[in-house]
A and B are shown apart, each in its own frame.
Chain A
């Protein structure tokens, strides 16, 4: 299953990229599992996506909890808590 992954703000800077196209292994079926999958890349991914980091996530531009399921073609995003207004 292929998905698009976006990163914003401090997370984008730490990872050095704002967007990835990923082919997910069979076991990665939720947003939380995708976060763990990305963390396993090591380096900046391991530290920036660590469990202690408060991150928000969205699927197809709706904010979701880590348990949210993924489907082929989804646009998934990870980002820090928002600071607009």
Chain B
């Protein structure tokens, strides 16, 4: 299991290979989030962010049969098209990999301590949290 909060970009295929090493792995589900349309700055709470993501991964491990998992989230200055976040989950079967990957992303959206500031022509502004993200995270509790 790997959690990294970093400025640097990441390589999807390398990360997928890294979680696929065990012969028991039969499925890898991965998600990559990209910057859309505007430049942004991502701020985070060093220390707490890593702890929060590790706790989410632990919760996923308690719910599904996961063999390995990598979560990478970037911070700092990012431009449209840049990769922001990667979740890659390896399991024996696709059901566990798909579900855990989506669960980790949904929880990360509402629990990992990141804040986006968008830089538009008319000025910079902090992105408001969306109620839809809370609802997506809550549906896993039903």
**A residues touching B (Cβ–Cβ < 8 Å)?**
6, 8-10, 54, 58, 61-63, 77, 79-85
Contact = CB atoms under 8 A, between A and B. Distances in A.
Contact of B115 (A61, A62, A84): A84
Given A85-B73, A85-B84, 17 more contacts: A58-B113, A79-B113, A80-B129, A81-B110, A82-B109, A82-B110, A82-B111, A82-B113, A83-B126, A83-B129, A84-B73, A84-B85, A84-B108, A84-B112, A84-B114, A84-B116, A85-B105
Interface string B31-57: 001000000001111011001100000
A85 B108 contact: yes
A62 B54 CA distance: 12
B23 interface: no
B127 interface: yes
Interface in B102-142: 105, 108-117, 126-129, 133
B126 A82 contact: no
A9 B43 CA distance: 7
A83 B47 contact: no
A6 to B, nearest CB: 7
Interface in B1-60: 33, 42-45, 47-48, 51-52
26 contacts: A8-B113, A9-B115, A10-B115, A54-B129, A58-B48, A62-B51, A63-B52, A79-B45, A79-B113, A80-B115, A80-B129, A81-B128, A82-B111, A82-B112, A83-B116, A83-B128, A83-B129, A84-B42, A84-B44, A84-B73, A84-B109, A84-B112, A84-B114, A85-B84, A85-B109, A85-B114
Tell which of A58, A80, A83 has the most Cβ of chain B within 10 Å: A83
A61 B48 CA distance: 5
A85 B33 CA distance: 7
